[in-house]
Amino acid sequence: MNEKVKVLVIDDSREVEDGIREYLKTSGEKDIEVLGFCANGKEGLEKISLLNPDAIVLDIVMPVLDGIGVLKVLSRAEKKPAIIIHSALSGTYVSN
């Protein structure tokens, strides 16, 4: 039995949240579990430490703490989730 990939979405765009929910609902994807959605990097870092996701979808431009700030904090973390950077400004970049 395969374990689900646990994903946390950190993005202030309601459209991104709705799009991810719709994709998972209609795609039949059963190997991904979205742990939650965070509207800013500060909230995202708190949820990362609580939920221990395998991957995060990260926006760059957000209020309170932006994606670059999140990346700086995560670069010092012992266990790092895979990161998918998504931004209307830069397209999408995947790192692990």
pLDDT for 95 equals 55
pLDDT digits (tens, 9 = 90+) for 4-51: 899 999 999 888 888 887 877 787 778 888 899 999 999 999 999 999
What span, in angstroms and rounded, lies between the C-alpha atoms of 28 and 25? 6
Beta bridge partners of 34: 7
Output the pLDDT for position 1.
53
With pLDDT > 90 as the criterion, what percentage of the chain qualifies? 52
Q: What is the pLDDT of residues 62-75, one digit of tens each?
A: 999 999 999 999 99
Nearest of 6, 31, 36, 10 to residue 21 by alpha carbon? 36
- The secondary element (H helix, E strand) that includes residue 72 is helix 67-75
Judge if pTM exceeds 0.75: yes
